[in-house]
Amino acid sequence: MLNEFKKFIMRGNALDLAIGVIIGAAFGKIVNSIIADILMPPIGLLISNVDFKDIKINIGITNPVYLNIGNFIQTAFEFLIIAFVLFLVIKAMNRFFKKQEEEIKPAEPSQVQLLTEIRDLLKK
């Protein structure tokens, strides 16, 4: 059982997935930092020196119950940036693979060439 597990883990797909998850987590931290530390402070400054994480709506009547709207806005920005970057990466990869397929694909013979070959075979 241990050998089977070892073979499963060492397969290319499992390793690729693990590497993707680790890189994705690191990329998520970078995006979080860009948004929280670079993008949101100037935007908050433009709208009366507000920190987005502090934007809350009290929905409680007798007890304070808050909706963390600012945290949601920041998370939505993070999602949009990650989705846009992934879109650009996938678009670039598709373009790269399309070029590779075009280079590998052999040139199709023209009808004249095919008819000439058939004629020559029939003569023999």
List the chain domain ranges: 2-123
Indicate the class that CATH gives domain 2-123. Answer: mainly alpha
Task: Using only the alpha carbons of the chain, give its radius of gyration.
Answer: 28
Q: What percent of the chain has pLDDT over 90?
A: 2
Q: What is the DSSP string of 47-91?
A: TTS--GGG--EE--SSS--EE-HHHHHHHHHHHHHHHHHHHHHHH
Across residues 79-91, what is the average pLDDT?
84
The Cα 20–Cα 27 span in angstroms is 10
Residue 106 has pLDDT above 80, yes or no: no
What pLDDT is attached to residue 122? 92
The Cα 43–Cα 53 span in angstroms is 12
Residue 59 has pLDDT above 80, yes or no: yes
Contact indicator for 40, 62 with CB cutoff of 8 Å: no
What pLDDT is attached to residue 47? 74
Please tell me the pTM assigned to this model.
0.53
The Cα 47–Cα 68 span in angstroms is 18
